[in-house]
Structure formats: C-alpha cells, structure tokens
Amino acid sequence: DQWVSPGGTAPAKWALVDGGAMQVKGGNIVTKEKFAGHFKLHVEFRVPYIPTASGQGRGNSGVYLQGRYEVQVLDSYGIPADKLAQGDCGGIYGVAKPPVNVCKAPTVWQSYDIDYQAPVCKDGKPAEPAIMSVVFNGTKLHDHVRLARKGKDGNEEIVTNTTAGMGGDPCAPGPIMLQDHGNPVQYRNIWLLPVKQ
C-alpha cells in the first residue's frame, strides 16, 4: 500500500504472490514517499525462467533511485564477466557495467544493497553527480561510482536521468521506482534507511 502508479494518483496494479512478493504487471510502480540525500536501499528480487528469450527479453526490470538512476535487473546468469555490459544485471544502466557476474539462476531470490547519495546542487542545478555503491548477492560490484560519463568535449557530464527514468528536476526528491519491462519479475523485502551525516 506504499506503492502507486507513476503520477501518484492510481494504486499500484502489481499482484501480491507467494506470500507477499510483488509481481510486475500493469506498468511501473513508485513509492508514495520521495527521497533525497544519502540513504541505503535493500531490495530482493527474482527473475523468471524464460529459456526462449535472449538479451533484454530475459527477466528485464530495474530499480530506480529517485526515479532517475537505474540498477538493472535481468537474467544474466552464466554470462562471462568479459561479455557483461551496462544493461546486464548489476549494471548501473548507462553508467557502469558489472565487473563480475554474481547472478544466481532464474527463479532464485537475489539481493541488492545500494548506498546512494543524491546529486549536490547549487543554485538549483547539479554541481556534483549522484554517487552509488552496489552490493549484489553479497559482492560489492560498484564502490562510490559517480553517476557521470564523458561528454562529447571529453569533460565529465553529470547524468541526471538514465534510460527510462522518470526525469524531472534532478535536485528534487524522487521515489523509488520499480520497472515493468514486460516480464513477471518479483520483488520482496524492500527497505530504505536514511544515512545521517
């Protein structure tokens, strides 16, 4: 009951299954509450077994911080580390690929522990990018990654929204968003703790 459809006006359409897990169905969902600053997010998920699909069609979903920055959820089980891309499970979409593959087999519960710091803003604009660390199934994949990339001029460009993020003002609080990418991914045991400075 703490989740709604984007826009916050309609209840989330996802079904509760298997003793309380939320299963993707009927569009993205977002938390009623919005978050900024520094916080830790724990999420457990499991991807379905879809042997006839490949690439982004295998258990695709995503966890978005402030509705803008995606940590990818996908069945990337068994992909060699040197073949992993930013769009594989554990990747920060559009920013950083996972350095190793720690994915469990589809239908097995997995976990993310994400330490997130919102962008530092001055005069209503990001002056420093958001920073994210990701522990996936107990292995630290990303350690204080600046959510930025090299711009066309070669200088650092602050990322304010990854693919399919909600966009909006990167200096404003945003919800946690779980993505519907057409696959019946399940989520459970989601909690968030602010980090006191």
pLDDT band at 48 (very low <50, low <70, confident <90, very high): very high
- Residue 53: CB atoms within 10 Å: 14
Alpha-carbon torsion angle 4, 9, 13, 18, nearest 10: 30
Residue 171 has pLDDT above 90, yes or no: yes
67-117 pLDDT tens trace: 999 999 999 999 999 999 999 999 999 999 999 999 999 999 999 999 999
Report if pTM > 0.85.
Answer: yes
Helices and strands: H and E segment counts in the chain: 0, 16
Q: Which of 118, 98, 146 is nearest to 40 (CA)?
A: 118
Single-letter amino acid, residue 114: I
